Structure 1
Amino acid sequence: MARTKEFDPDAALRSALELFWRRGYEATSMADLVEHLGIGRASLYATFGNKRDLYLKALDRYGELQDPSLLRELSQPGPALPAVRTVVRRFAAEAAADGRRESGCFVTNTAAELAPHDSAVARRVERNWEYLETLLHSALVRAQQQGELPEERDPQALARMLLVLLQGVRVVGKASTDPARVRDAAEQALRLLD
Structure 2
Amino acid sequence: MARPRAFDTDAAVEQAMHLFWKNGYHATVVPRLTELLGIGSGSLYAAFGSKDGLYAHALKRYCDLMIAALDEDVRAGSDIRTAVRAILITMVTTDAADRERGCLLVKATTERSTHDGTAEQVRATMTAMESVLAAALSRARSRGELRDEHSPVELARFLVTFVQGLRVMDQARVDRSFLEAAVAGALKVLD
The answer to whether the 8 Å contact 1:81/1:140 transfers is no
CA distance in 2, matches of 1:81, 1:181: 20
**Which residue, out of 181, 186, 189, partners 1:184?**
181
Q: How does 1:3-18 map to 2 (within 5 A)?
A: 3-18=3-18
TM-score (norm 1): 0.87
Contact 1:13 1:57 in 2 (8 A): yes
SS of alignment partner, residue 100 of structure 2? helix
Task: Tell me, yes or no, if the aligned pair for 1:95 and 1:182 is still in contact at 8 Å.
Answer: no
Point out where structure 1 has 5 or more consecutive residues left out of the alignment.
Answer: none
Deviations 1:100-132 (A, max 9, x none): x22111112111211x20121111111111121
SS in 2 for 1:103: coil
Residue of structure 1 in register with 2:48 after alignment: 48
- TM value normalised by structure 2: 0.88
128-137 vs 57-66, greater mean Cα deviation: 57-66
Q: Which residue of 2 aligns with 1:111?
A: 109
Query: Structure 2 residue aligned with 1:142, among 129, 139, 142?
Result: 139
Structure 1 segments of 4+ aligned residues over 6 angstroms from their partners: none
One-letter amino acid matched to 1:106:
L
The AA in structure 1 aligned to 2:66 is Q
Please report the RMSD computed on the Cα atoms of aligned residues, expressed in angstroms. 2.1
Q: What are the superposed Cα offsets for residues 31-72 of structure 1, whole Å, 9 maximum, x if unpaired? A: 222222221111111111111111111112223323644323
Q: How many pairs were matched up?
A: 191
**Number of the residue aligned with 1:175:** 172
CA contact (8 A) 2:67 2:129 kept: no
Cα 1:118/1:31, change in 2 over 3 Å: same
- The sequence identity of aligned pairs, in percent, is 39
